[in-house]
């Protein structure tokens, strides 16, 4: 069965299933490797809990950009201790990173969108490509209510650029439900969430948000357009955003 057809079937079935049942369905239908990419945000912690407790055959990986908050390393360590597992860490290639810093300076990403995308390219996108090499299914913690850009996403989609099935089991969860789930199940959470950081990426590129602001307003807050890091692209490899409901177009293809 083609991955596009598989995505359609999962989209049909997922609304009736719990999050763990969605993960189990993805495992049951996949004939290849499943990879879950975590950045240790509250959504990812809920998914890690579900995967670990159910003993699902999904590889848990993270992209260590080298610029993460100390609190992120703390929750990473706490997660491994809580569930007795090791998260596979992917790092930027040394030569590419050295060339990037030589070219644009250590914080060159503040100077232009092109510089910022180049930094994300070396520190995130290239390691992600290695993490997903040979995988058939990519599991993410994306939620539809995280931002206007994510509101039009599907539960599952064929990522033609990477040739795999992308699955978002928490698509319909609210932030409150996700935080409550982690609290009830004693899943470790990043201490920054309680300090006004609903979305946590690299330290120099993430700030707290004000009440009423979009959950992701604190990411690359100095930029006014194309706030994409390239992890989520369309079939042609372009950075795109989900279409508004009713407008059609690409869905589930935004930044993480
Ligand atoms: S989020 Fe900032 S520091 Fe992290 S990879 Fe992107 S530009 Fe670089």
Residue 231 inside a domain? The answer is no
- Provide the pairing of β-strand 33-37 with 59-63: parallel
Task: State the pLDDT at residue 251.
Answer: 31
Q: 80: CA distance to ligand 1 center in Å? A: 24
In the numeric block, which tokens belong to residue 67?
A: 């610029």
57 in Cβ contact with 36 (< 8 Å): no
228 in Cβ contact with 214 (< 8 Å): no
Residue 71 inside a domain? The answer is yes
Residue 256 inside a domain? The answer is no
Task: State the pLDDT at residue 226.
Answer: 56
Q: 65: CA distance to ligand 1 center in Å? A: 7
Residue spans of the chain under pLDDT 70? 147-151, 225-230, 232-256
Task: State the pLDDT at residue 246.
Answer: 30
Four-point Cα dihedral 221, 224, 225, 229, nearest 10: -20
Residue whose Cα lies nearest atom 4 of ligand 1: it is 202
Ligand 1 neighbours, Cβ below 6 Å, are: 65, 67, 109, 116, 119-120, 123-124, 201-202, 204-205, 229
CATH number of domain containing 169: 3.40.50.620
Residue 190 inside a domain? The answer is yes
Phi, psi of 230 (to 5 degrees): 95, 0
Residue 226 inside a domain? The answer is no
Residue whose Cα lies nearest atom 1 of ligand 1: it is 202
Residue 137 inside a domain? The answer is yes
How many structural domains is the chain composed of? 1
Residue 202 annotated as catalytic: no
Task: State the pLDDT at residue 125.
Answer: 97
Phi, psi of 111 (to 5 degrees): -85, -25
Task: State the pLDDT at residue 99.
Answer: 98
Residue 99 inside a domain? The answer is yes
Residue-range definition of the domain harbouring residue 158: 3-205
Residue 106 inside a domain? The answer is yes
């Amino acid at each position: 069965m083609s991955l596009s057809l598989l995505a359609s079937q999962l989209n049909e079935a997922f609304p009736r299933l719990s999050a763990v049942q969605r993960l189990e369905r993805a495992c049951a239908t996949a004939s290849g490797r499943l990879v879950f990419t975590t950045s240790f945000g509250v959504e990812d912690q809920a998914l890690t809990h579900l995967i670990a407790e159910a003993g699902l055959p999904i590889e848990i990986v993270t992209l260590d950009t080298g610029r993460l908050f100390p609190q992120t390393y703390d929750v990473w360590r706490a997660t491994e201790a809580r569930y007795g597992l090791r998260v596979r860490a992917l790092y930027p290639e040394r030569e590419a990173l050295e060339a990037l810093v030589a070219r644009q300076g250590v914080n060159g990403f503040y100077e232009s969108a092109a510089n910022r995308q180049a930094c994300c390219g070396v520190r995130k996108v290239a390691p992600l490509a290695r993490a997903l090499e040979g995988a058939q299914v990519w599991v993410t913690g994306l939620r539809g209510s995280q931002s206007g850009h994510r509101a039009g996403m599907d539960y599952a989609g064929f990522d033609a650029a990477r040739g795999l099935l992308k699955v978002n089991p928490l698509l319909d969860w609210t932030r409150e439900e996700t935080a409550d789930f982690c609290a009830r199940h004693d899943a470790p959470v990043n201490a920054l969430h309680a300090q006004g950081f609903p979305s946590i990426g690299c330290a120099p590129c993430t700030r707290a948000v004000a009440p009423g602001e979009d959950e992701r307003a604190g990411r690359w807050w100095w930029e006014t357009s194309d706030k994409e890091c390239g992890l989520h692209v369309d079939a042609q490899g372009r950075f795109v955003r989900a279409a508004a409901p009713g407008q059609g177009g690409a869905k589930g293809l935004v930044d993480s």
